[in-house]
Amino acid sequence: MLRSGEYRDKVLIRELVIEPSMAIKGFDGLPTDSVSVAEALEATLSPTVLLLAPDGRRLEPPIRGINNAEFYGYYLDQAIGRALAALRTGSDTESTDHGVGDAYSRP
């Protein structure tokens, strides 16, 4: 996604390495560790994709795991579109299940 350049003006993509010794800055600007952030965001399964507002608020339900690689990009693009729309309008879409959410975490 990063290499394609297609998302450059849409989203800021970051990977959170979940290790107790990984020091990072939290959404509140204070130092914390990656395990604490992952637990607070309920992102303990890898991979988990979160679409967050700059303040750390969820804009979409998490996408956990990969159940269907053929449709993963489509589902991700749709979730990004809804998250961007929520940011523009100030609405909260996270509480709405759009048919993706935890579907990937099931075997």
> Do the beta carbons of residue 48 and residue 64 sit within 8 Å?
yes
Alpha helices in the chain (DSSP H): 34-40, 69-89
Q: What is the residue-level pLDDT of the chain in tens, covering all 107 positions?
A: 777 888 888 888 888 988 888 899 988 999 999 999 999 999 878 889 999 998 889 999 999 888 888 888 899 999 999 999 999 988 665 554 444 444 333 33
Q: Which residues pair with 32 in a beta bridge?
A: 24
Closest CA to 52 of 89, 94, 88: 94
